[in-house]
Structure 1
């Protein structure tokens, strides 16, 4: 609890993977004079600080990633109770479930600054009744927010085109991203390509196409497997490295999953706590996602000097230096062609890719801009003075 005039921020995230979206940001804000609390499903009540080293107050909320009406109502009630206890000046909510429930709860509690960080739009690839439902829920979350940050300019344009938000209401931090990239993350790693491949169970002397992410349809994994086989049929000898896990939401077909598990040239290693070896092992990253907000994986790959090919999807177009490596969404033959061209050496230099990432996505720039925005938004409501007054009253 605050004992001085430090403004309070409550971050709402859905689950364990979501914490990676704000890694480092919370400790930075603490150092900038904010008092930060984080609430997530991942924070178990009996181990409230497990896995966090940023000096923040960690709370549990019963969010579920997939739709569940009764559970979602319980989560809304619990979120309202938490907000009334913490009394934040700012609520920052992201990821679909925490974003919707968090913005509704913050609006009900009249939190002065309600920040919704839009990291992607599921409505973009949905169809029929599901699309209508997702569109309506997204509209509710956006309407409850006082400030809306989009992870990329293409995502903002998509939201405006879908009539989710009126032009001029959304904003983007810098070149994009809700957290930026630690541009020093891979500096000290000296593992060679051959060593990284052997560590991951790959042949050291055969080219590697890599993918990092959830193994779902929306991520284009089925298309990638198809494109990989098309390239193999041309006579090129290569391997496909898949880093990530299968998921029940938007699952791959049984046939595709069986092929991943049995194909002699596909290496599936599951999730890696540190993807450095995976990037070192790759000749190129294939990223055929159907929709994104601003994907970190292509940015990290380029920081390691790895070229990227994929689909010209929302978000991805902002995360890749050379759009010539991207093809229209769903164009599997085009994806196979780009993979072949890249393996033949037609790609930008590694130093060029690294320099571009450092210039555009250094996380310290994103954090400083966000902290500055928080102060301006609080000043515009007068709540920085109210925080001080509240603390003096309590003392």
Structure 2
């Protein structure tokens, strides 16, 4: 049986996005997972072997050299037929190590570019590293069509050795998990003292400036002054420390609900009326199709990646990125026009469940590998 190794920096990446893919591929291939496993980590990814490699997300030449050597040793010992990396640092180290050790099939999945919003030397260097990753790979996948067009325009990718699976996204939506559930809606709202008549905007994801959280807070302040029943739920890990001292919650006087990282995002999607993702950069925006599968429409930035997940005016509303005024306008439109919101929800749910079902993406990846490994 041929052997494949998936390489990621953090095990959580595999846990969140690769479980279904690995389970399907394991029916045809022997699949290992290589990641920076912390001591005592208990990942439930269904792989043959879990192998530790010190791959760090941040840039550190010494740590990166150690990570590269670790991968070279592992690849030499295991003699894989294919290596598949996800996330930038894992991609750079894995593709280089796989090239050095002559692994015949080398795949990387692009899931968004840190350098897309940067300028000067930083942008040039990070873009160059992405070009190197693609050059070292035998083929690259991209998780959205608009992101691939961006990378082609930037001359990072070559058309003949890159593609997108089906309609895009890295893993699709588990439509058995993400679905309308009135019980979850009532439970979450009751837990946080939110009334059935309250209108809830939800942000769910990593909390930092590049996700547009500061603009969302400012826009919500304007919206809540017009609609006193409006509430904002902010769910996720606070990477930027915005909510550490509690000052923001106090300033909103009970209208803002802060929740840490959750393993049950579907419950919070069901509790919401609209999901907001005012991100400055995004590879695809999986939360948007997960919310849609639960019957919740979205307001999001009109940028590459997100424009694949939301069709403006049909399955949600897009606004100019970084514009507090444009975001406020869309939020007021959603809360003020329930008929429009209902139409968006219906079309969003149909599209998410028919075009982005995880089972379809998983089968497409198996077929991709059957072709590339033949």
TM-score normalised by the shorter chain: which range applies? Answer: over 0.9
Q: Which residue of 2 aligns with 1:287?
A: 277
Q: Secondary structure at the match of 1:24?
A: helix
Is the 1:243–1:270 Cα contact (8 Å) retained in structure 2? yes
Offset at residue 351 of structure 1 (A): 3.6
Structure 1 window deviating more from structure 2 (256-265 vs 301-310): it is 256-265
Q: In structure 2, what is the Cα distance between the partners aligned to 1:308 and 1:59?
A: 38
TM score, norm. by length of structure 2: 0.92
**Match runs of 1:136-175 below 5 Å:** 136-175=128-167
Distance 1:274 1:83, change over 3 A: same
Q: In structure 1, what is the Cα distance between the partners aligned to 2:78 and 2:135?
A: 23
Q: Which residue of 2 aligns with 1:29?
A: 25
Offset at residue 355 of structure 1 (A): 1.6
Is the 1:41–1:61 Cα contact (8 Å) retained in structure 2? yes
Is the 1:200–1:269 Cα contact (8 Å) retained in structure 2? no
Distance 1:200 1:168, change over 3 A: farther
Q: Secondary structure at the match of 1:317?
A: helix
Unaligned runs of 5+ in 1: 1-5, 380-395
Offset at residue 292 of structure 1 (A): 1.1
Is the 1:284–1:308 Cα contact (8 Å) retained in structure 2? yes
Offset at residue 21 of structure 1 (A): 1.4
1:330 aligns with 2:326: no
* Number of residue-to-residue matches in the alignment: 367
Q: Which residue of 2 aligns with 1:355?
A: 350
1:270 aligns with 2:265: no
**Match runs of 1:242-391 below 5 Å:** 242-247=234-239, 251=240, 258-260=247-249, 262-264=251-253, 265-323=255-313, 325-344=317-336, 345=338, 346-347=340-341, 348-379=343-374
**Match runs of 1:216-255 below 5 Å:** 216-247=208-239, 251=240
Q: Secondary structure at the match of 2:4?
A: strand
Q: Which residue of 2 aligns with 1:82?
A: 74
Distance 1:305 1:295, change over 3 A: same
Is the 2:53–2:67 Cα contact (8 Å) retained in structure 1? yes
Q: In structure 1, what is the Cα distance between the partners aligned to 2:318 and 2:127?
A: 27
Is the 1:114–1:146 Cα contact (8 Å) retained in structure 2? yes
Offset at residue 204 of structure 1 (A): 4.2
Q: Secondary structure at the match of 1:191?
A: helix
Q: Which residue of 2 aligns with 1:97?
A: 89
Offset at residue 192 of structure 1 (A): 5.2
**Match runs of 1:184-199 below 5 Å:** 184-187=176-179, 189-191=181-183, 193-199=185-191
Is the 1:227–1:336 Cα contact (8 Å) retained in structure 2? yes
Is the 1:321–1:356 Cα contact (8 Å) retained in structure 2? no
Distance 1:242 1:68, change over 3 A: same
Structure 1 window deviating more from structure 2 (256-265 vs 195-204): it is 256-265
Q: In structure 1, what is the Cα distance between the partners aligned to 2:229 and 2:204?
A: 21
Q: Secondary structure at the match of 1:185?
A: coil
Is the 2:147–2:283 Cα contact (8 Å) retained in structure 1? yes
Offset at residue 139 of structure 1 (A): 1.4
Q: Secondary structure at the match of 2:150?
A: helix
Q: In structure 2, what is the Cα distance between the partners aligned to 1:254 and 1:241?
A: 13
Q: In structure 2, what is the Cα distance between the partners aligned to 1:189 and 1:225?
A: 27
Q: In structure 1, what is the Cα distance between the partners aligned to 2:89 and 2:192?
A: 34
Is the 2:210–2:280 Cα contact (8 Å) retained in structure 1? yes
Structure 1 window deviating more from structure 2 (207-216 vs 137-146): it is 137-146
Q: In structure 1, what is the Cα distance between the partners aligned to 2:135 and 2:246?
A: 39
Q: Secondary structure at the match of 1:26?
A: helix
Distance 1:100 1:262, change over 3 A: farther
Distance 1:328 1:349, change over 3 A: closer
